[in-house]
């Protein structure tokens, strides 16, 4: 089964903010989100409070998403600050 990917407005706004200073990192995040359509529970993700609410790590980014009947809803995209 292939899931439809949807983005909440908050996630779109956060992604747009990362585009200017890290387009390659954001591209990796969006590619990983696209792959969720075929594999909604990849090994680098883990349950976040319930089996269908997941957190995915992509480099320094974190994606919070919910698996629904026929879709995946991306609710949050965040970036950790670099160590320094």
Domains assigned to the chain: 4-79 (3.30.2310.20)
- In order of 14, 34, 50, 55, the CA distances from 3 in angstroms are 23, 10, 19, 17
pLDDT of residue 14: 94
pLDDT of residue 5: 98
Nearest to residue 4, comparing CAs of 67, 81, 54? 67
Strand order of the β-sheet with 45-50 is 4-7, 71-79, 61-67, 53-58, 45-50
pLDDT of residue 81: 73
Which residues does the chain have with pLDDT short of 50? Answer: 84
Q: Are 3 and 67 in contact (CB under 8 A)?
A: yes
pLDDT of residue 3: 97
């Amino acid at each position: 089964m292939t899931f439809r990917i949807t983005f909440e407005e908050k996630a779109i706004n956060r992604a747009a903010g990362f585009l200017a200073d890290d387009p390659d990192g954001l591209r990796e995040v969006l590619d990983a989100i696209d792959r969720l359509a075929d594999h909604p529970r990849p090994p680098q993700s883990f349950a976040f409070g319930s089996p269908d609410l997941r957190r995915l790590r992509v480099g320094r980014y974190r994606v919070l998403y919910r698996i629904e009947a026929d879709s995946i809803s991306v609710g949050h995209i965040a970036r950790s600050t670099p160590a320094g």
